[in-house]
Amino acid sequence: MKSKLILAILLLSSCTNNKFSGYVYDYDTGKPIQNVMVNIIGNVTRTDSIGYFELEVNSNSNCAINLKRQGYAVKIMLRKPDFAEGNKNKKPKKNTIFMFKSDSDFSK
């Protein structure tokens, strides 16, 4: 009985968390932006030298993604769960996010 309970907990916990990843680029140049702070419900990371980030998120719920970097306008996006994230047979789409420089006309 105890082993069935542990197995059920492990199965449920593996279904509720998923990785959300993407790349952050400069809108004008198309180049990756390094050291962008990415915050998803208190989970924080920074982009690497190729603009890549990865965080664990609840795969079944919407969440806000906050992106900040000096010299760029703060970007807040709403993430909706992707069907492919919960389906192990399909690869989730790669997320590409563009940020505008603070002095850009688009950032106002």
Q: What is the pLDDT of residues 16-34, one digit of tens each?
A: 457 788 999 999 999 999 9
| CA nearest to 14, candidates 86, 63, 75 | 86
In a domain, residue 82? The reply is yes
Q: Would 76 be classed as within a structural domain?
A: yes
For residue 39, pLDDT beyond 90: yes
Give the domain extent around 86: 2-103
> pLDDT class for 4, splitting at 50, 70, 90?
very low
3-state SS string over the chain? CHHHHHHHHHHHHHHHEEEEEEEEEECCCCCECCCCEEEECCEEEECCCCCEEEEEEECCCCEEEEEECCCECCEEEEECCCHHHHCCCCCCCCEEEEECECCCHHHC
Q: What is the pLDDT of residue 17?
A: 54
pLDDT for 1 equals 45
- Of the listed ranges 8-12, 59-63, 89-93, the one predicted with least confidence: 8-12
Answer whether residue 42 shows pLDDT above 80: yes
- Total of domains in the chain: 1
Instruction: Examine residue 6 and state whether it is found in any structural domain, yes or no.
Output: yes
Q: Is residue 108 part of a domain?
A: no
Taking 60 as the threshold, does the pLDDT of residue 83 lie above it? no
In a domain, 50, yes or no: yes
CATH of the domain at 58: 2.60.40.1120
Q: Are 53 and 38 in contact (CB under 8 A)?
A: yes
Largest CA distance in the chain: 63
